[in-house]
Structure 1
Amino acid sequence: MTSAGKNAVIAGRKVRILGDAQGDNIREYGDRQHVFIIGSKGIPAQYGGFETFVEKLTGYRKSEKILYHVARMAEDNMRFFYNGALCFDIRVPYIGPARAVACDLIALRRSIDYCKEHPEVRKPVFYVLACRIGPFIAPFRREIHSLGGTLFVNPDGHEWKRAKWSKPVRKYWKTSEGLMVKSADLLICDSKNIEKYIRSTYRKYKPDTTYIAYGSEIGPSPLGDSDPVFTNWLSEHGLRAGDYYLVVGRFVPENNFETMIREFMKSGSGRDFAIITTTDGRFYNRLEETLGFEKDPRIKFVGTVYDQA
């Protein structure tokens, strides 16, 4: 374990190790808006959706009056400073899908206890990503309100519809979603359709919602079209600049890969169809058996791209 005050490297990024929470100079942080983020795997991000969101949210922070506290699923209980955020590791045993539920519960418990131990923290915000812990949220909500805090929830997508889950797990997700919606002071949706779904499906709870998009850099890339990094990548995958369609997404049935590939195969397009994703062998094989897309030279699974330039 690296000593407090020393630098360490996590996921390829340098962080500063902290001591235990009792040693925090809360007088330095007391006048800030404390925001506790729970539900991602933590930062530094390793390219998960919520993780990248938290990485960018903390990295692009504009106001010094905001202090983020970010829970991170890990193998220890280390605390460290990264991207201007106080990060705290949650050690959770490998217990299958329930591990994420346990991590969120422990993280929320520790965040609330932190505020109780540091009464200088006023009107804290607890921002829970995804709807995993609905059956357990009501008593936490009461504690949060007793602290003068608020509970924000990002409901994510239709997790309860995902084919990867068994029927009992899907039922749990749906029940949990409803309970999270019922308890949230504000639901922050990153899709207009999800916001519409929440407001319609759970209108009896009169949910307070807002829509905030995220997911893309809006500035121009410093990497030019003639840059060798880009041209070599094109050559490696048999692509020509400006002459291909591009899809980037998680390789799961819910992202409509079968529909996209099938309809592209029907087209007479002279362009290629490049798919950036991490392929799951079973789903890939199932698509090939159904569509026979490997016979179409225009369809190219090109792996992943982690160079953010």
Structure 2
Amino acid sequence: MKKHKLLILGTRGIPGNHGGFETFAERLALYLVKKGWHVTVYCQSNGEKFYRRKFYYSLWQGINLVHIPVPKNSSFWSILFDFKAAFNAVNQEGIVLTLGYNTAIFSLLYKLRNRLNVTNMDGMEWWRKKWNFLEKAWLYINERCAVWLSDHLIADHPQIKKYLRQEVKTSKPISVIPYSAQVVTKADETLLKRYCLVPRRYALVIARPEPENSILEIVSAFSQRPRNLLLVILGNYFPHKNAYHQQVLAAASDEVMFFGAIYNQEVVKSLRYYTRLYIHGHQVGGTNPSLIEALSAGSPILAHKNPFNSWVAGKDAYYFQDENDCSQKITQILDDETNIETMKQNSFARYYEEFADDRDLKAYEDLFLNRLNHK
């Protein structure tokens, strides 16, 4: 029996150490390999010692890895990496799955060769505040290229499908496949001790330190008054390089703790499971994996009010609109022990309703098989 083949592009590679698409690519690749697929993932190798080498190949848990060296991790070199990956992939057999549209212009290679190309459209990347005009223009153009050049589009949120239909006005087939996560019914409490944390005596934020993630509003809101518990922030902050990071750190009270980026998934799982409140400030994008993982751990949710978060966390979560509203909601939630437990159960209920187990991975495989059968 001939194996089906899949090529995964658009990430920095696996094993996933960055969250987001890297984690999803790892999950999908491992799942499909177990189902008998031949899976190749393109990986970016950074540093001069790698750059002096040509492409090199390795095998990880049955997944073929193609390592493409670049001298450093920057926007320019990432674009070059994506081009080299696309140029290599177009000469290989298999379905091309592109995660994100940041360099979708290179999908022209697949179009010219009549290769089956499926693109996950991610969030509205060009909407993000961090980009300057030229960067937004590049992303906008590539969003359109992804729509024009792909055979099938994947939206991780109903709102993204709506946007593609009504604003971009595409008639291309679109599948809505939100991310899933494994349920967390227990976690290692001892992992909290290295951070001097006590279960249920801290709130948690896991997000890149960018304006559209409402980090400044959340930190300022929490710091408006003593809370008698901690706010734990995960993410790398570089105040000497970034004015926004500097603002966030300056706004923090003594009860706000910055732990940097933590890539140990067992530690992150424990942090989510034992948090008293998970605060999610993302304003832009589709279904954020971090919010799904918070639901899967039964974390009580306070999220920024927008159509993306409202659909994911559901009607029973709490939402804030600005700094003062966030402060009031934090006070309201933290002072009500009974409500905290209800919120925890509501998170589990929403998780089982929409995001349980590996239903996203099964949906991807079903989509691929359907496309192959109707090619």
**TM-score (normalised: structure 1):** 0.73
1:297 partner SS: coil
Q: CA deviation at 1:215?
A: 6.4
For residues 27-46 of structure 1, the aligned pairs below 5 Å read 31-46=2-17
Residue type matched to 1:251 in 2?
A: P
Q: CA deviation at 1:48?
A: 4.0
Structure-2 separation of matches of 1:127 and 1:140: 11
- Among residues 194, 198, 206, which one is paired with 1:232 in the alignment? 194
Answer with 1 or 2: which has the greater Rg. 1
Root-mean-square deviation (Å): 2.5
Q: CA deviation at 1:132?
A: 2.4
Structure-1 separation of matches of 2:223 and 2:123: 29
Structure 2 match to 1:251: 209
Instruction: Give deviations 1:59-101, integer Å, cap 9, x for gaps.
Output: 3346433111111122331111112211112234559423222
Structure-1 separation of matches of 2:18 and 2:103: 23
Q: Percent identity?
A: 22
Specify every segment of 5 or more residues in structure 1 that has no aligned partner in the other structure, as ranges.
Answer: 1-29, 116-123
Structure 1 match to 2:57: 79
Q: CA deviation at 1:51?
A: 1.5
Check 1:274–1:91 CA distance in 2 against 1; reply closer, same or farther (3 A cut): closer
Q: CA deviation at 1:33?
A: 1.2
Q: CA deviation at 1:166?
A: 2.7
Question: Is 1:286–2:247 an aligned residue pair?
Answer: yes
Instruction: Give deviations 1:104-147, integer Å, cap 9, x for gaps.
Output: 222122122123xxxxxxxx21001111233343342231x2xx
**TM-score (normalised: structure 2):** 0.62
For residues 108-147 of structure 1, the aligned pairs below 5 Å read 108-115=86-93, 124-143=94-113, 145=114
Q: In the comparison of the two structures, how many residue pairs are matched?
A: 256
- Among residues 77, 86, 97, which one is paired with 1:99 in the alignment? 77
Structure-2 separation of matches of 1:259 and 1:217: 30
1:68 partner SS: strand
Residue type matched to 1:105 in 2?
A: F
Check 1:94–1:300 CA distance in 2 against 1; reply closer, same or farther (3 A cut): closer
1:152 and 1:188 in contact (8 A); partners too: yes
Task: Give every structure 1 segment of 4 or more consecutive aligned residues whose post-TM-superposition deviation is greater than 6 Å.
Answer: none
- Among residues 131, 154, 157, which one is paired with 1:165 in the alignment? 131
1:58 and 1:84 in contact (8 A); partners too: no
Check 1:297–1:94 CA distance in 2 against 1; reply closer, same or farther (3 A cut): closer
Structure 1 match to 2:172: 207
Check 1:198–1:265 CA distance in 2 against 1; reply closer, same or farther (3 A cut): farther
1:302 partner SS: strand
2:79 partner SS: helix
1:58 and 1:83 in contact (8 A); partners too: no
For residues 258-273 of structure 1, the aligned pairs below 5 Å read 258-266=216-224, 269-273=227-231
1:132 and 1:177 in contact (8 A); partners too: yes
Instruction: Give deviations 1:158-190, integer Å, cap 9, x for gaps.
Output: 322334433112101101111111222222223
Structure 2 match to 1:307: 264
Q: CA deviation at 1:43?
A: 1.5
Structure-2 separation of matches of 1:258 and 1:95: 26
Residue type matched to 1:130 in 2?
A: G
Q: CA deviation at 1:210?
A: 2.0
Structure-2 separation of matches of 1:278 and 1:93: 22
Structure 1 match to 2:26: 55
Structure-2 separation of matches of 1:103 and 1:114: 17
Q: CA deviation at 1:268?
A: 6.7
2:86 and 2:106 in contact (8 A); partners too: no
Residue type matched to 1:207 in 2?
A: K
